[in-house]
Amino acid sequence: MSIKLEWSRRRFLTTSAALGAGLAAPHVFVRNAWSQDKVFCNNPTGGTVTLGFNVPQSGPYADEGADELRAFQLAVKHLNGEGDGGMIPTFKPSSLKGNGILGKKVAFVTGDTQTKSDAARASAKRMVEADKAIMISGGSSSGVAVAVQSLCQDMGVIFMTGLTHSNDTTGKDKRRYGFRHFFNAYMSGVALGPVLAEEYGKDRKAYHLTADYTWGWTQEESMKNATEAQGWQTVQTVRTPLGAGDFSQYLTPVLNSGADVLILNHYGGDMVNSLRQAVTQFDMKSKQVNGKNFEIVVPLFSELMAEGAGAAAKGILGTANWDWKLDNAATKAFAKSFGTEYGRPPSQAAHTCYAQTLLYANAVEMAGTFYPPEVIKALEDFEFDGLGNGPTLYRGADHQCFKDVLVVRGKEEPANQFDLMEVVKIVPRDTVTYDASIFGGELGPAEVKGCAA
Amino acid sequence: MDALILQVLNGLDKGGAYALIALGLTLIFGTLGVVNFAHGALFMLGAFCSVSFAKLLTISERVRDESVTFFEAYKEVPYLEIWWGETGKSIVDWAVPLSLLLTVPVMLLVGVAMERGLIRFFYKRSHAEQILVTFGLAIVLQEIVKSFFGANPIPLAAPAALSGSADIGSLVGLHGISYPLWRMIYFVFSLGVIGAVFAFLQLTTFGMVVRAGMADRETVGLLGINIGRRFTVVFGIAAVVAGLAGSMYTPILSPNYHLGMDFLVLSFVVVVVGGMGSLGGAVVAGFLLGILQSFASMTQVKAIIPGIDQIIIYLVAVVILLALPRGLMGRRGVMEA
Amino acid sequence: MSTVTARPGPKRELLTLAIFALAILTMPIWLAPIGAGYPDILQKFAIFGIFAIGFNILFGFAGYLSFGHAAFLGAGSYAAVWAFKLFSLNAVFAIVFAIAVAGIFSLVIGYVSLRRSGIYFSILTLAFAQMSYNLAYSVLTPITNGETGLQLSGGDPRVLDRALFVTTSRLQPPDLFGIALQGWSGFYFCAVLLVIAFYVSMRIRHSAFGLTLLAIKSNQRRMGFTGFSAKPYLLTAFVISGMYAGLAGALLATTDPLAGADRMQWTASGEVVLMTILGGVGTLLGPVIGAALIKYLEQIFSSFNEALLHRTFDFLPGAADDVVTAIFAPFVGEGWQLTLGLMFMAIVIFLPGGIMEGVRRIAGASRRQRTGSSAAAREVGRRIPAE
């Protein structure tokens, strides 16, 4: 609870300072003072403010990117006071007014990350240099998130990450200008460990297949620690090349290794293929090892992957950041708004992008200026509710959101074509909160020369 | 020992796919003299023939799920199941093998259209231009597929009777060797297709002319044999072979629009390692690389040379090309300049 | 034959160079109307122009199609970032270091690969590049920082800077003796190097060495009969083009200090092949145009979305606006690759010899009109394609 106390103290100080300023001078005046005094990257001058949405439009995550873009468009609509407002009415404490951001109409530009660092950075640079975007958001992989985040730090533009799950994004590679609403591999491990022990017993032997790059490694480490803390043994960890497609040569040794659980630290196409091959071809789910049913675990689950894996995803345990079927007012409002607009439920990638856009807009309203150091201050240690995840803290020390984590299971009997995952357990925020220092890294300065220089 | 046998099996089904793609590619090289960068896209199109066929079979009655109010959510029951009950169900179950009925004519059509509409204008053009035009075509084909089917992989299942794995070790008195049935079927299937192509080339007059054309295109042309029509047929055959390989591969690897590009580079390596202009070489190289790739993935091997599974194919390619100037069975003078 | 031309006079060369330099340095002005008047894309034009010019020395002049040049681009990037980290943030040092590393790397790979010719050579280079890429992504992560890419950090030693008491703040981009190489200054830096690279390539083309390469391309076997050994010349060309790639990689790292493994992937090698063929194999200017065109499509076409299309066509009456938007929508935004594919096909079908062929035809047509003599134009049009 110490975090909470600390938060309230800091929050109180900033709030009272802002209040003091607010009393001393009319709000409008303060804002003008800021924008005149401070020279910063892409200070919006006209009647509009431009946000840059950088999502994968080609490559393996193109569908996820398309869903992120839908969410961004919806968020812009709601910020401009159009449509039903989505989660704006449920979001608390909210400074959003439904008239754009600081009275400026919100416009947006889009770009293709191609899920490659170079392409993503080039696209983000275009948004900043040519389109004068004040904030960048989106993306569907940690490599891209880290690359764009450090670029945004250099340019002095705030980056609200999309889907990125590696511990590094808000750990080793964290930046002052980068903010992550999505959860991470560490939280997945902590949330999933006890559920696994409960469901499958404490005497288990795990075999890891891990995508051979940074995200995979952090995921493997986190899962290993979390399961070993429950008394499990790790028989072997095997690295697989990214995009291997066919995993049979990695799957064949599993059943003879003495392991009785297979943990697939894969994402996207790798996960769809390895899971399907393990279940439908190697028949692992129907095998018995050490007198126990053989089980498969996929620590990071998503709707699109469940769809891609088809029947193979049934009964598989994993974690998720959010699910459209959650029973809270904000989730319902968002699912309704998104569903009415696009005829389909939002994915967790869409949700996090929508939430990030609102959070940024709200922070600007709170700060009363687009000046990034002030916006960053408003976001740091911001405690909020009503964006679908329950009470959430944007921790200032590493710019990571702390909120409940969902343990989900691939649904055995889907009621409809979108009903692919069911929520098994909501792991409370306190359980998944960790000390910011464990991953190291350095946020860097808030005052940067950026692109204004 | 068990592990080794399993890895050989792994190599066989992978090698089957490599061999089938490389076979078509080398056929096109050998007879038409065309570097076909769209060959991976043909493999991908074959896979999506199966996807389309499965989608056709599972056109469904949609029963609305009333619990979801703000968008259309429904439970799908294929009409085939409604009309024909169990029979319908098993037809849907056998969608992938049945889809070959669609794949063969569609891919033949695609191949002929491609050759007549585009490739034939490039016989006399430089390899660089062939690469550019076929690569452009490959991008266009995959973008079209993406616009219809999205970018997410699409799950297709093998028939229930053929999925899961079989304990083949017990047949020869060994324990603990069970291997996925469909993969063994794929291996046998690939052998069948390879055999059919070779039989066609060896046993028919048509095949004889094609082989002669591969050996010496100019002379055959001088003999007054109408090569143009035969080229069309050869290209059609290559397209069908690639399509069949893709079609049957869908239960092993969920297809997405990018599948072709993933196989393109690999299949070129296979062809060149096998040796330009050699059909047998392509097949041997396909299986060889498949099996070596499997062995390199064994943890025991990786413990000695870390990361070997990432590069084994290319490493083998380098070694073979340095040791044997024209690959395993390549012929002098083909694509050497 | 125009493929093997006599060396034009130094005056003519200087004139070409002056026009080229003028065109490159004024790009911010004349490319602004089509949405490409911002620093990052112009930097990319210049950098990939250098990459393609270098690639053309091997492929266009000597006729050897390497499918692994991205390995040298990547090696140059990694070397440059390491130079920034270990030694100095001064770009000059990093660029020299990167060119040297790429040169050595290409010497090794070139020496081995050039033992084969034709497609066997192509596959050998491809194999080396793919090995580099796969290892950089995984096992070599301590050196390359894997998927995330190698970045500068506050704790870097930068021994030279420290020794010379140059104060470097913790997170600072590379510079050129104090001039930050981001934004416009970054572009002009790259542009000047592009002009130099172009000049060097022009001199190579017109030198005895360049003519030897062209002779090797037109018939290696016949040259072999005369007892002439082509390999030293080819290896030199290979290393030069590898060093060009190293320079391009270093510039990528200078203007944007991050080096990722993606730069070494076969798609990146393929891209430079496509750039060169698109612009015109063997021509001096073609590769630069091809590089700019592909980068333009990648950056600008992918950024169009429906809202933007509506805004562009809003001068049309309501219904027509919708129709035109609907027609264009599949080709932009997420469909930008469709446009790319179609452009490849269209250019190679209608303009064998690439864009420069089109330029030549237009020039030929206008000259024909002026002089009335079609013979010269016909001779130009008969130019032998790449093989």
Q: Give the burial string for A15-54 (b: 16+ CB within 10 Å, else e).
A: eeebeeeeeeeeeeebbeebbeebebbbbbeeeebbbbbb
Out of A196-200, A366-370, B286-290, C85-89, pick the least confident. Answer: C85-89
- Give the single-character DSSP code of A346: P
Q: Is residue A407 part of a domain?
A: no
Q: Which of residues B147 and C325 earns the better pLDDT score?
A: B147
pLDDT at A181: 96
Look at residue B69 and tell me whether its pLDDT is greater than 90: no
pLDDT at B217: 67
> A361: burial class by Cβ within 10 Å (0-12, 13-18, 19+)?
buried
Q: For residue A277, what are the domain limits?
A: 186-320
A197 min Cα distance to partner chain C (Å): 32
pLDDT at C49: 97
Look at residue B171 and tell me whether its pLDDT is greater than 80: no
Under a CB-based contact definition with an 8 Å cutoff, are residues C246 and C110 in contact?
no
Look at residue B169 and tell me whether its pLDDT is greater than 80: no
- The pLDDT tens digits for A124-145 are 999 999 999 999 999 988 889 9
**Mean pLDDT (whole number) for B265-288:** 90
Q: Enter the tokens of residue C332.
A: 């932009």
Facing residue for B265 by CB, picked from C266, C338, C342: C266
* Residues A128 and A37 both lie in one domain: yes
Query: Cβ contacts (< 8 Å) between B254 and chain A: which residues?
Result: 269, 272-273, 276, 308-310
Q: Is residue A349 part of a domain?
A: yes
Q: Is residue A63 part of a domain?
A: yes
Q: Nearest to residue A141, comparing CAs of A349, A307, A309? A: A349
> Which residues on neighbouring strands pair with residue B286, listed in sequence order?
none
Residue A165 three-state SS: coil
- The pLDDT tens digits for C161-191 are 777 766 655 567 788 887 888 888 999 999 9
Q: Nearest to residue A215, comparing CAs of A252, A193, A188? A: A188
* Residues A192 and A115 both lie in one domain: no
pLDDT at C151: 84
pLDDT at A17: 45
Alpha-carbon span B214 to B278, nearest angstrom? 9
**Do β-strands A292-293 and A295-300 pair in parallel, antiparallel, or remain unpaired?**
unpaired
- The pLDDT tens digits for A402-414 are 999 999 999 998 8
* Residues A306 and A363 both lie in one domain: no
pLDDT at A30: 43
A45 touches chain B (CB under 8 A): no
Look at residue A22 and tell me whether its pLDDT is greater than 50: no
> Which residues on neighbouring strands pair with residue A105, listed in sequence order?
A48
Q: How confident is the model at residue C157 (pLDDT cuts 50, 70, 90)?
A: confident
* Residues A276 and A374 both lie in one domain: no
**Mean pLDDT (whole number) for B288-313:** 87
pLDDT at A38: 73
Handedness of CA B107, B110, B114, B116 (dihedral sign): positive
Kindly provide the ipTM of the predicted complex, given to two decimals: 0.88
- The pLDDT tens digits for A104-130 are 999 999 999 988 888 999 999 999 999
Q: How confident is the model at residue A16 (pLDDT cuts 50, 70, 90)?
A: very low
Out of A232-246, A324-338, B36-50, C210-224, pick the least confident. Answer: C210-224
Q: Is residue A444 part of a domain?
A: no
Q: Is residue A413 part of a domain?
A: no
**Mean pLDDT (whole number) for B181-202:** 93
pLDDT at A29: 41
Percent of chain B with pLDDT over 70: 94
Instruction: Find the closest chain B residue to A343 by CA distance.
Output: B71
Q: How confident is the model at residue A9 (pLDDT cuts 50, 70, 90)?
A: very low
pLDDT at C167: 62
A252 min Cα distance to partner chain B (Å): 7
Taking the CA of residue C171 as centre, how many other CA atoms within 13 Å lie in the half-sphere pointing to its CB? Answer: 23
Q: How confident is the model at residue A78 (pLDDT cuts 50, 70, 90)?
A: very high
**Mean pLDDT (whole number) for A52-67:** 90
Q: How confident is the model at residue A12 (pLDDT cuts 50, 70, 90)?
A: very low
Is the Cβ pair C281, B128 closer than 8 Å?
A: yes
* Residues A289 and A204 both lie in one domain: yes
Q: Is residue A410 part of a domain?
A: no
Instruction: Find the closest chain A residue to B165 by CA distance.
Output: A282
Under a CB-based contact definition with an 8 Å cutoff, are residues A250 and A209 in contact?
yes
pLDDT at B337: 58
141-200 of B, contacting C, C-beta below 8 A: 143-144, 147
pLDDT at C385: 40
Query: Cβ contacts (< 8 Å) between A239 and chain B: which residues?
Result: 302
Facing residue for A129 by CB, picked from C39, C149, C307: C39
Q: Is residue A281 part of a domain?
A: yes
pLDDT at A21: 43
Instruction: Find the closest chain B residue to C134 by CA distance.
Output: B310
CATH of the domain at A29: 3.40.50.2300
> Which residues on neighbouring strands pair with residue A180, listed in sequence order?
A400
- The pLDDT tens digits for C230-247 are 899 999 999 999 999 999
This prediction has a pTM of 0.89
* Residues A204 and A310 both lie in one domain: yes
Facing residue for B133 by CB, picked from C59, C220, C345: C345
**Mean pLDDT (whole number) for B78-90:** 85
Taking the CA of residue A134 as centre, how many other CA atoms within 13 Å lie in the half-sphere pointing to its CB? Answer: 25
CA distances from B182 to A155, B251, C216 (A): 53, 8, 51
Look at residue A28 and tell me whether its pLDDT is greater than 80: no
- Give the single-character DSSP code of B175: S
- The pLDDT tens digits for C247-292 are 999 999 999 888 888 899 988 999 999 999 999 998 999 999 999 9
Q: How confident is the model at residue B59 (pLDDT cuts 50, 70, 90)?
A: confident
CA distances from C35 to A375, C38, C41, C295, C300 (A): 30, 8, 10, 13, 7
* Residues A149 and A17 both lie in one domain: yes
Q: How many domains does chain A have?
A: 2
Q: How confident is the model at residue A1 (pLDDT cuts 50, 70, 90)?
A: very low
- Tell how far CA B314 is from the center of its chain: 20
* Residues A193 and A304 both lie in one domain: yes
Q: How confident is the prediction for chain B on average, in pLDDT?
A: 87
* Residues A45 and A179 both lie in one domain: yes
Residue C208 has a CB neighbour count (10 Å cut-off) of 8
DSSP string, B187-225: HHHHHHHHHHHHHHHHHSHHHHHHHHHHH-HHHHHHTT-
A266 min Cα distance to partner chain B (Å): 15
pLDDT at A95: 92
Query: Cβ contacts (< 8 Å) between B140 and chain C: which residues?
Result: 338, 341-342, 345
Q: Enter the tokens of residue C305.
A: 């979305």
Q: Nearest to residue A136, comparing CAs of A396, A353, A362? A: A353
Taking the CA of residue A412 as centre, how many other CA atoms within 13 Å lie in the half-sphere pointing to its CB? Answer: 2
Alpha-carbon span A261 to A256, nearest angstrom? 12
pLDDT at B99: 94
Q: Is residue A424 part of a domain?
A: no
Q: Enter the tokens of residue B214.
A: 């591969």
* Residues A163 and A200 both lie in one domain: no
pLDDT at A61: 86
- The pLDDT tens digits for C16-57 are 999 999 999 999 999 988 888 899 999 999 999 999 999 999
Q: How confident is the prediction for chain C on average, in pLDDT?
A: 86
Alpha-carbon span B283 to C376, nearest angstrom? 51
Query: Cβ contacts (< 8 Å) between C341 and chain A: which residues?
Result: none
* Residues A200 and A92 both lie in one domain: no
pLDDT at C12: 87
Q: How confident is the prediction for chain A on average, in pLDDT?
A: 88
**Mean pLDDT (whole number) for B133-143:** 93
Q: Which of residues A268 and C385 earns the better pLDDT score?
A: A268
Handedness of CA C97, C103, C107, C113 (dihedral sign): positive
**Mean pLDDT (whole number) for C182-210:** 93
pLDDT at A452: 65
Mark which of A366, A398, A430 sits at the end of a domain: A398
Handedness of CA B302, B306, B311, B312 (dihedral sign): negative
* Residues A26 and A14 both lie in one domain: yes
- Residue reference for tokens 């997945």: A188
157-176 of A, contacting C, C-beta below 8 A: 168, 173
